[in-house]
Every structure is written in C-alpha cells, then in structure tokens.
Amino acid sequence: MAANNRPGKAERTSMAREQARQLHEQQAAAAKRKSLLVKIGVVAAVVLVIGLIAMIILQNSRGDVAESGPAPKGGNEYGGITLVSDTEAAPTSGVTVDWAALGEVPEGERETKPRGVAAAAKGQPAQVVIYVDANCVHCADFESAYAGQLKSWLAAKDITLEYRNVAYLDRSSSTNYSSRGANAMACVADAAPATYLPFVEAVFARHSQGEMSNKELADLAAANGADVSSCIDNGTFRPFAKFTDQASRIDAIPGTPSVWVQGQVWDAAADADFTAWAQELIDDNK
C-alpha cells in the first residue's frame, strides 16, 4: 500500500498561515513603497512650487527699473544711441535720462516726427534713425538685408546712424527679453562702440533660435569683442532702455522697424527698396 504524502490538517493550517503572513508582508511592503513614493512626489511638488515662486519673485524684482540712469556712450536725451562712423559713437557728456518724468503727451499735440528727428544741415552726414526691438522678426529681416549697407554709409561718413532700442514685445516674453536685449546693446555701445554694429547684427541673426539668457547675450558680446557680463547682469542701462521705450510710445511710433532718413519716414510698402530710397536722400544732402 502506497504511503500517503499529503500534509495533515495541522500542517496545511500552518502552511496557510505562512502564506497569509507572507502575503501580508508583501502587501505591507507595497503599501510602504507607495506611501514613500507619494511622500517623494509631494516633496518634489512643494520644491517645484517654491522654485516657481522664487523665479516669479526674482523676475518681478528684476522688472523694477530705477526711474533715472545714465546713457551709454553715444546715448542722447531722446533715448537713442548714435554712431558717427562704423567704429565711433557720438561724443556724449554725462547724459542722464528719467523715464518717470516723461509724462504723457495729449494725442493732438504729438508731432509728425519723433523727438530729435530732423534733417541734418546741407553738407553734413545725413541723419538715420531706426527704432528696433531685440525680439522683432521684422527687425531681424531688416538687419539681414541692410546691415552691410548701413555700415558702408557709416564708413564713408555719409550718415550718422542712431538706434532707438524699444521693448514693445516684452508683453509676449516671460523674461523681458526686449528690455534685456536693449540693455545689452547699450552695454556694448558703452564698453566698446566699435563692436556695437557687429553685436546688433549678431543678436538679430540669432532671432530664429529664440530668446537669449543674460549669459548668452554676454557670451555673444564677448565673441564680438565686448566684455559686458556685469553690465548685462546688473541691468546698468535698463533705465535708459525704459526711457527709450516710454518716449517712443508717447511719440506714437507705429512699430518696429521704423526708419527715418533726413526727417522722412521710410514707407516699406511704397518704397520697397530701402537702399535706393535712402541713397537719394543722402545724395541730396551732400
């Protein structure tokens, strides 16, 4: 007769208890892991929220711009940066600006031209004034098309070239890129005027790659020969940039780029060839 190998009742009970104990331990371990993951998730979420709050606070604090400040080399009381040759800024002497003092000009009292825009005297280099925004794709297109011609006119001293860097597109930027770009351009003008045009051209050439951080702006300036890292980080010329922007709004500048040559505004629709249109005005003033 074959031996009966089936476990007895007591052994089966013991095995069932052991299985139940193991299952309980597994469930407890799983619950513990789940609880730990939940806690880690909560901590990570809290850290993320704190980081976002800190970033918002930092951005807001950087958005607080002093009411007055210095103009860079070549800077004037209208908020422009003027070059008198392809390597030389216009001489300035202690120009300061105060955007809070600009106030508002009633619509009916606005001039037909922005402040400081006028034809140069006969025989003098023609005045060229350009309103640009660092975040403006049409400004990038304008620079791509005409930067070489502008430099050629400057090198020949046929013109003076004034950039007024505005910040119309800050409204669509979470980092105030237009204002930061304007500040960076002023920093370069102040530290190394000879590198201003190459830097402006380089900034707009990067437009398709998106907004740049302060470090990227500083690195781009350094690549073009200007060491302005601290000036950019400190926002040294943010008051000047804000003044330029505020003044342009009061003067009802329609958009960017807006270009005046010898007191006349370029109408891209009517005069599609900017070079030919401007050359005629430049030649007429010689």
Residue-wise pLDDT for 152-186, tens only, equals 999 999 999 999 999 999 999 999 999 999 999 99
Residue 123 has a pLDDT of 96
Q: Which CATH architecture has domain 67-284?
A: 3-Layer(aba) Sandwich (3.40)
Q: What is the mean pLDDT of each run of 10 residues along the chain (286 residues)?
A: 59 69 74 72 58 45 76 96 94 88 66 87 97 98 97 97 97 95 98 97 97 98 97 97 95 94 94 95 97
Describe the strand order of the beta sheet including 159-166 as a list of residue ranges: 81-83, 159-166, 126-133, 258-261, 264-265
| Exposed/middle/buried for residue 161 (C-beta within 10 Å: 0-12, 13-18, 19+) | buried
Rounded to two decimals, the pTM is: 0.77
C-alpha 153/C-alpha 37 separation (Å) is: 66
Q: Where are the domains of the chain?
A: 8-64, 67-284
Residue 50 has a pLDDT of 53
Tokens matching residue 240: 């000047």
Angle, nearest 10°, between helix axes 177-191 and 196-205? Answer: 150
Q: Quick one: which of 204, 188, 177 has its CA closest to 83?
A: 188
Residue 46 has a pLDDT of 56
Residue 39 has a pLDDT of 67
Q: Check residue 103 and give left, alpha or beta (phi > 0: left; psi -120 to 50: alpha).
A: left
